[in-house]
Structure 1
Amino acid sequence: MNIQVLPDHKLSSVAPLKPCNVEKKEVQLILVKDQNGVQYTSSTIMPTPSTHGTPCTAEELEERETWGKKIDFLLSVIGFAVDLANVWRFPYLCYKNGGGAFLIPYILFLVIAGMPLFYMELALGQYNREGAATVWKICPVFKGVGYTVIIIALYVGFYYNVIIAWSLYYLFSSMTSELPWLHCDNAWNSPNCTDPKLLNGSFLGNGTSYAKYKMTPAAEFYERGVLHLHESRGIQDLGMPRWELVLCLVAVVFLLYFSLWKGVKSSGKVLLTHCA
């Protein structure tokens, strides 16, 4: 019987029987020829040290998704660190708490506390490839920290999505030949509405500024046209939901869902489109 071993470049790879941390096994194909001239092939598995392991469980075989591009991860981190509180409330808080002097303690605590905690959170997630709750398997004592992060994200998502719904309502309201918050001739305007162009800083007889008792069309559009605050008697009177704002909020929720339903693959494309 003649045995012909194929050259090294004839070696092939086949899928293993799902051992942990192993993707392929090398198999050497042997061409066997008996006395009758019949040829057939035989194979010899060439095991490696990593193949002698126990079969993986379903959880171990589950592959975590990864970012398609580095720019996707960078944009997601920027979106995670920079939100409405930074670009909207921070200038107000800075002005309210001393102006430029407020930046000194802010930058100090940003360097010694904010940035290290931010980096630690990203490093733990990247290294362990786990979520906010399951990443604390490395130290179960702090598992409550992960659940707290999830609760905070849920809480923040409630009012951030409402603000985005307001922005969407403004977008639809601006699709007219004339913006509705420029003049005082709308149905929601009150007698106190005054065109800013007509305010010349006049004063009343007792020295009180006349403009103090007037409201701009933009302010009344937000308070009376969007929120209808004039129909509420106080915080105890919530009133009925406005269907326009409800539809905008539902649209925002659907946009978020379809942006994340395929994980980081779809969210990365949405971030690129948003930044473009």
Structure 2
Amino acid sequence: MSNSNREKGRESWGSRLGFIMAASGFAIGLGNIWRFPYIAGNNGGGAFLLIYLLIVLVIGVPLFYAEAGLGRKAQAGAITGMRKLAGKGSPWVSIGWLGTLAALLIMSYYLMIMGWLFAYFFNIGIGTFQGITSEQAAVIYEDLISNPLAVLGYSIIPTLLLGIIVSKGVKDGIEKFVKTVMPLLFVMLICLAVFSLSLPGSFEGVVWYLKPDFSQINANTVLAALGQAFFSIGIGLASAFTYGSYLKPHGSNLVKDGAWVISLDTCIAFLSGLVIFPALFAFQMAPNSGPGLLFLTIPTLLDQLPFGYIFGLAFFLLVIIGAITTGVGLIETLAANVAELFDLKRKASVWIIISVTFVMAIPSILSQGPWSNVQLFGMDIFGLIDYVSGNILLTLGGLLISLYVVFQWTFKRFMNDINTGTVSMKLSSAWKPVISYLIPLSIAIILITGLM
């Protein structure tokens, strides 16, 4: 299929709400409900939150516009799209390759986390967490993640679900799904945050979460905040590029819709912290418990709730839904690139990617059990993949996007392209020093000092 024919038959979002919900759903998912609290917990709470919010506002917003705008301009996936914009063989095409590699690595361990979620949903259903202490919750978590066969079995469920949803297409699969489930997730998080704040001793957790302790801030804290912002919003993952490519070139309001996406994403991240940290301090648990933070806190919290059994099932079901909305974005990104590079039909490319990522999930699953003693650069396999993809590849991808705007796109053309379809809320020339100097310099400094 030629490029021109492919573009004529290219799918597009059915509505503005569809794009906002899909991009928000990708951003919100496990990046905010699972990853944000444990990264914040490992990096000092309030100090991390402050840096994270500043990065989202100053760096995240313009780069989301840039990446989604590149996709809208190219009307293609990240790799073939950058070839169209910069020329085949251009070093700028590495933006697409880096984002696709990051998406592949993240998806490889994402299936494991989704397997944990399905396991918890099942265990709540059979009453495993009723009447348990926080210490018993920790034992249940360790027993689960160290059992590779059980995790692999549970991971098959989200693998098949993702394949079915994405293979149905952009409008009939992804858009219909996210428009139904995202409002439910938002309401459930608000309810849980209200209850968590009502627990005796929870105020200490609120103070820890909201009051910055500047002694906790170092280069690693800033790098972690930058990586989390990119992970959450979807910058450097080629996903904003892919979702942007389904926008109509002249009939979409990227400035306003992008502001909605990032606002919803940041709000959910903040709410997730208000669910987790007050409960942690109420139950006298450590905030730096790592990737298992959600799985240690929520079962203990739910046991204190009236009708906690029903609430627990509903909560984990909705977190599963949030995880699937992110997984959908990652699989769509990978499948779109494979389909365009190898001239395959959607269903074929989707199931190829599904199969590859499932096989790639096995090392991360084993690293929590039989291979837990395998350490690379002081991290297990899962930790290393998360660090390389979330902190290095996304940050490097974001840096390349910012440099592309400066040297290839140029600010004037960038501003005009992003403002296409916008009537009231426009990107102004006041952003020029931020986009041309502050963003690339900041990302480069954060990346170098964080790695050193």
The unaligned stretches of length 5 or more in structure 1 are 1-56, 184-194, 197-214, 230-240
Matched position secondary structure for 2:13: coil
C-alpha deviations, 1:29-87, integer Å up to 9, x for none?
Answer: xxxxxxxxxxxxxxxxxxxxxxxxxxxx8431231101122222111111232242333
The aligned counterpart of 1:159 is 109
Matched position secondary structure for 2:106: helix
Contact 1:67 / 1:268 at 8 angstroms: preserved in 2?
Answer: yes
In structure 2, the CA distance between the partners of 1:248 and 1:273, relative to structure 1 (3 Å rule), is farther
Report the AA paired with residue 157 of structure 2: A
The aligned counterpart of 1:65 is 11
More strand by share: 1
In the alignment, the residues of structure 2 paired with residue 247 and residue 114 of structure 1 have an alpha-carbon distance, to the nearest angstrom, of 37
1:87 to 22, 33, 40: 33
The aligned counterpart of 1:263 is 169
**Residue 131 (1) aligns with residue 98 (2):** no
C-alpha deviations, 1:102-129, integer Å up to 9, x for none?
Answer: 3443333223322211111111112221
Contact 1:173 / 1:180 at 8 angstroms: preserved in 2?
Answer: yes
Equivalent pairs counted in the alignment come to 176
- For residues 163-242 of structure 1, the aligned pairs below 5 Å read 163-176=113-126, 179-182=127-130, 196=133, 216-224=135-143, 226-228=144-146, 241-242=148-149
Matched position secondary structure for 2:78: coil
In the alignment, the residues of structure 1 paired with residue 26 and residue 92 of structure 2 have an alpha-carbon distance, to the nearest angstrom, of 22
Instruction: Give the percent of matched residue pairs that are identical in Structure 1 and Structure 2.
Output: 33
- For residues 98-117 of structure 1, the aligned pairs below 5 Å read 98-117=44-63
RMSD (CA atoms): 2.3
More helix by share: 2
The aligned counterpart of 2:93 is 143
Contact 1:72 / 1:268 at 8 angstroms: preserved in 2?
Answer: yes
- Whose radius of gyration is greater, 1 or 2? 1
Q: How far 1:257 moved relative to its partner?
A: 0.6
Contact 2:115 / 2:155 at 8 angstroms: preserved in 1?
Answer: yes
**Residue 77 (1) aligns with residue 23 (2):** yes
In the alignment, the residues of structure 1 paired with residue 43 and residue 117 of structure 2 have an alpha-carbon distance, to the nearest angstrom, of 28
In structure 2, the CA distance between the partners of 1:168 and 1:96, relative to structure 1 (3 Å rule), is closer
The unaligned stretches of length 5 or more in structure 2 are 185-452
In structure 2, the CA distance between the partners of 1:174 and 1:90, relative to structure 1 (3 Å rule), is closer
In structure 2, the CA distance between the partners of 1:273 and 1:222, relative to structure 1 (3 Å rule), is same
Matched position secondary structure for 2:12: coil
Matched position secondary structure for 1:76: helix
Matched position secondary structure for 2:102: helix
Q: How far 1:258 moved relative to its partner?
A: 0.7
C-alpha deviations, 1:137-157, integer Å up to 9, x for none?
Answer: 211331011011001001111
Matched position secondary structure for 1:68: coil
Q: How far 1:96 moved relative to its partner?
A: 4.6
Contact 1:65 / 1:264 at 8 angstroms: preserved in 2?
Answer: yes
In the alignment, the residues of structure 1 paired with residue 46 and residue 124 of structure 2 have an alpha-carbon distance, to the nearest angstrom, of 36
In structure 2, the CA distance between the partners of 1:92 and 1:227, relative to structure 1 (3 Å rule), is closer
C-alpha deviations, 1:199-218, integer Å up to 9, x for none?
Answer: xxxxxxxxxxxxxxxx6221
The aligned counterpart of 2:221 is none
In structure 2, the CA distance between the partners of 1:173 and 1:97, relative to structure 1 (3 Å rule), is closer
Contact 1:182 / 1:217 at 8 angstroms: preserved in 2?
Answer: no
Q: How far 1:133 moved relative to its partner?
A: 0.7
In the alignment, the residues of structure 2 paired with residue 85 and residue 255 of structure 1 have an alpha-carbon distance, to the nearest angstrom, of 19
Larger relative contact order (C-alpha < 8 A, sep ≥ 6)?
A: 2
Contact 2:116 / 2:151 at 8 angstroms: preserved in 1?
Answer: yes
Contact 1:133 / 1:143 at 8 angstroms: preserved in 2?
Answer: yes
